[in-house]
Structure 1
Amino acid sequence: MRYRGRFAPSPTGPLHFGSLVSALASWLDARAHHGVWLVRIEDLDGPRTVPGAAEAILGTLARFGLHPDEPPVWQSQRYTHYQQTFDALQASAGPRPLLYPCGCTRKEIADSLLHAHARHATLAYPGTCRTGLHGRSARAWRLRVPDEAAAVIRFDDRWQGAQSQNLATGVGDFVLLRADGQWAYQLAVVVDDAQAGITDIVRGADLLDSTARQIYLQRCLQVPTPRYLHVPVVTNAAGEKLSKQTGAAPLDDTAPLPALLAAARHLELVLPTAAAVSLEAFYAAATAAWAQRFVPHESSDIRALR
C-alpha cells in the first residue's frame, strides 16, 4: 500500500510554531516515502472553533509551501460516518457490550479517582457505570476496555521507541460520545484515518498517550493500525507545551524560511548552509536529511533530489 500521511490541525486559532513542527515532520515523512500528504481540519469541538481559523491555517500552509495532495477534509462534515461507526460498535455481538452509557459527572469521576488514589489503586475511570446507570441518566457513552490481564497495548514508535500501556489501569473505559453530544476525538480520528487509508501518523508527542486507545479501537473496528512517529513537543520559556492556550504567537507567513529552519533544528535535522537560500533548497535538503534518518533504504534516492 502506498504511503499516506496527514496533518490534522484544530482551527482554534492561527498556526503557530509548535504546529509547524508537526506539519513539517509529517510532510517530510510523506515526501521521503514518495507518498501522499493530506490535511484534515479537526473542528469537532464547536465551542473552541474560531471562525475563519481553518481557512487561515490552510493559507499559512500554502505560503510555507506545504500543499496537500488531495482536497482538505473537515471533521464537522463527517458526523454521519462517526454515527455509523458508533452504531456498528453498539451492535457488536459478544458476552459483554463494547459500548455502555455512563451517567457520571466529572466531579463524581474526580471524587472516585481521589478515593482510589488514597487506596493506592488505579487512577483510570473506575467503571462505575459498567453494570448499569444505577438510577442516573445517560450522559456519555464509553468503550469497554479489556480486563487488566489482556489490556496491554504495545507498539513501536519510530521516534520514541517501544511503547506499552495497560488500558485497564492507565485509562479505563474511555468516552466515544461526550456528555455534550459531541463525538470524542478518539473515535473521530480512528474513523477518519481508516477511511482515508492513512498508513503513517506523524504528530507531536503530546498525543502519545492517546495512541494505545486508538490502536484498541482500531482492533475493535477491524481496521489497519498505521505506523506511528511522535516528534518532541515545542515548549515555551516556562516549560509548557507551546499552544494557543499558552499564548503561542502566530507564524509570520511573510517570511517562512526562518521558521522552517528553526523547525528543522527542533526535529534534529542537520542541513547544509545552502538550505537557507530558498524554500525549494530547504525542502530538498530537509527531505534528504529526514530520509537518511527515518528511511535509510531510500535515502540515496532522496539525496539525488538535492
Structure 2
Amino acid sequence: KMLGSNHIYAGTCRNQHLHFEQQAIRLKVSNQMICFEDRLQAQQCSNLQNDLGDFVLKRRDDIISYQLAVVVDDYLQKITHVVRGADLLDNTVRQIWLGLLLDYPKLTYMHLPLAMNAQGQKLSKQNLAQALDINKASELLSAAILALGQPMVELDQPRIMLQQAIQQWDVERIPKGIYLNDIYQ
C-alpha cells in the first residue's frame, strides 16, 4: 500500500501539445516495472504507468516539483545513500526513473518507520503535532533511540548521547515496517 496521497494522472492533456507557458509540465512514463531493494523495507516494485502515472516536474506556477528537485539535489551533493521516512517510499520509484533518464548513479535507499499519533497520522506539523519541549531534549532523544530499536544510551547532554548512539548504532535493530508501534504524542 502506498502511503502518500498520490493519484494516477488520467492523461487529460498528455497528447494535446499545449504551450509550456502557464502549464504544469509532466514527465510521460512508460509501461515499465522499476524495482529497488530498500535497506529496511525489502524489495519494492512499481509499474510506472499502472501504479504511478505521468508526474509533474514543474508546476503551473513555475515551482519545480519535489521529485525533480530532490533527484538533482542528491546528484549535485554526490549523495550515495538516502534515508527518509516511510511516507516517502512510494516516491522513490519516480526518483529512480528520473535518475535513470538523467544518467545519474544509482543510490541506496532506506525508509524508516514513522511515529504516529493516536489517530494513525504521522507526527508532523501538517497534522498539528505538538511541538517538542526543548527542555526535555535528552529524554525525547532517548525515547527516539529506543523507538528505533537501538540500545539505550546514558542520559546526558544530547550531543554526548548522540555520540554514544552513533557508536552502537545497528541498522538490523530498526523495526521493520512502515510504522513504529505505540509512538504517540
TM-score (norm 1): 0.50
Matched, 1:277 2:156: yes
In structure 1, how many angstroms separate the alpha carbons of the residues matched to 2:39 and 2:90? 15
Matched, 1:286 2:170: no
On the 8 A contact 1:257/1:279 being kept in 2, the answer is yes
On the 8 A contact 1:176/1:186 being kept in 2, the answer is yes
CA spacing shift, 1:269–1:130, aligned 2, 3 Å: same
- Give the deviation of 1:195 after TM superposition: 0.2
**CA deviations over 1:91-122 (Å, ceiling 9, x no partner):** xxxxxxxxxxxxxxxxxxxxxxxxxxxxxxxx
Give the greater-gyration-radius structure (CA): 1
Local SS of the residue matching 2:56: strand
Structure with greater helix percent:
1
Matched, 1:267 2:112: no
**CA deviations over 1:216-240 (Å, ceiling 9, x no partner):** 0001111112211100111111111
**CA deviations over 1:196-246 (Å, ceiling 9, x no partner):** 001111111000010000000001111112211100111111111111121
Q: How does 1:4-153 map to 2 (within 5 A)?
A: 124-133=8-17, 139-146=23-30, 148=31, 151-153=32-34
**Residue matched to 2:59:** 178
On the 8 A contact 1:157/1:163 being kept in 2, the answer is yes
In structure 1, how many angstroms separate the alpha carbons of the residues matched to 2:102 and 2:164? 40
On the 8 A contact 1:154/1:212 being kept in 2, the answer is yes
What is the aligned counterpart of 2:50 among 169, 172, 186? 169
- Give the deviation of 1:255 after TM superposition: 3.2
**Residue matched to 1:234:** 115
CA spacing shift, 1:276–1:134, aligned 2, 3 Å: closer
In structure 2, how many angstroms separate the alpha carbons of the residues matched to 1:261 and 1:162? 30
- Give the deviation of 1:252 after TM superposition: 2.1
In structure 2, how many angstroms separate the alpha carbons of the residues matched to 1:166 and 1:282? 43
**Residue matched to 1:109:** none
Local SS of the residue matching 1:164: strand
Local SS of the residue matching 1:285: helix
On the 8 A contact 1:125/1:173 being kept in 2, the answer is yes
On the 8 A contact 1:264/1:286 being kept in 2, the answer is yes
Q: CA RMSD in A?
A: 2.3
TM-score (norm 2): 0.81
Aligned residue pairs: how many? 167
**Which stretches in structure 1 are left out of the alignment for 5+ residues?**
1-122, 295-306
CA spacing shift, 1:202–1:292, aligned 2, 3 Å: closer
Percent of paired sites with the same residue:
42
**Residue matched to 2:176:** none
In structure 1, how many angstroms separate the alpha carbons of the residues matched to 2:18 and 2:104? 34
Local SS of the residue matching 2:9: coil
- Displaced runs of 4 or more, over 6 A: none
In structure 2, how many angstroms separate the alpha carbons of the residues matched to 1:289 and 1:157? 22
On the 8 A contact 1:271/1:285 being kept in 2, the answer is no
**Counterpart of 1:193 in structure 2: which amino acid?**
D
